[in-house]
Amino acid sequence: MFKVTVIVKRKPAILDPQGKAAQQGAKLLGFENVRNTRIGKFIEFDILTDDKTQAEKEVEAYCEKLLTNPLIEDFEYKLTQAQ
Amino acid sequence: MFKVTVIVKRKPAILDPQGKAAQQGAKLLGFENVRNTRIGKFIEFDILTDDKTQAEKEVEAYCEKLLTNPLIEDFEYKLTQAQ
């Protein structure tokens, strides 16, 4: 089995309304030093195989078909072997 | 200046409907090895100070008051000094 973590970020050229809202909130609350807030996703799951090549293939397909929108988002993932 | 990354996860006992929906989608799409999908947030921003203690204080307040709901979410953050 592998434990998988995936970080999903909007591509740099794509607007991030959620991050912008948080950034405006930061200013309203007096956090004067906060800049450039951007909000993405942090996803965790398990893959029930010990074949790393198969695991990577399934992780990439899961990310591309369901977890992200490849038109506007980039992702990176990490596998950690577990018991 | 510090570059800050924050990972926000729902506490283990708290239901995660977004993760559950992705998990059900995985099954429907035939990703038979995927289990236990949970979806949190990955947040990035800058802090315009070179005083690390001040930066940490501001990051923690920003996380606790705006970026997370401390009742149902945990967060961890990392500062990296930048130019």
**pLDDT tens-digit profile of B17-51?**
999 999 999 999 999 999 999 999 999 999 999 99
Nearest to A25 among B26, B37, B66 (CB): B66
- Residue B40 CA to its chain's centroid (Å): 6
Nearest Cα neighbor of B18 from A60, A66, A38 is: A66
Q: Is the Cβ pair B37, A58 closer than 8 Å?
A: no
Cβ pair A9:B42 closer than 8 A = yes
Q: What is the CATH number of the domain that holds A35?
A: 3.30.1280.10
Q: Which residues in chain B touch residue A37, judged by CB atoms under 8 angstroms apart?
A: 43-45
Kindly determine whether residue B38 and residue A35, on different chains, have CB atoms separated by under 8 Å.
no
Closest partner CB to A45 (pick from B35, B45, B58): B35
Whether A83 shows a pLDDT value over 80: the answer reads: no
- Cα B25 to Cα B70: distance, rounded to the nearest angstrom: 29
Computed over every residue of chain B, the mean pLDDT equals 97
Q: In the predicted model, what is the mean pLDDT of residues A34-39?
A: 98
Closest CA to B77 of B41, B30, B37: B41
Distance from CA of B70 to the nearest CA of A (A): 16
With an 8 Å Cβ cutoff, are A45 and B38 in contact?
A: yes
Total domains in chain B come to 1
Range of the domain at A55: 2-81
Distance from C-alpha of A58 to C-alpha of B34, rounded to nearest angstrom? 8
How much is the ipTM here?
A: 0.94
Structure confidence by residue, pLDDT tens digits, B46-69: 999 999 999 999 999 999 999 999
Q: Do B34 and A9 touch (CB under 8 A)?
A: no
- What residues contact B40, with CB distance under 8 A and at least 6 apart? A41, A42, A43, A44, B7, B8, B9, B10, B73
B9, B35, B58: residue with CB nearest A34:
B58
Segment A17-27 mean pLDDT: 97
Q: Is residue B83 classed as helix, strand or coil in its secondary structure?
A: coil
Return the pLDDT at B20.
Answer: 97
Q: What's the longest Cα–Cα distance across chain B? A: 50
**Contact (CB<8Å) B40/A35:** no
Phi, psi of B7 (to 5 degrees): -110, 125
> How many alpha carbons lie under 13 Å from residue B82 in its C-beta half-sphere?
13
Contact A69/B at CB under 8 A: no
C-beta of residue A33 within 8 angstroms of C-beta of residue B55: yes
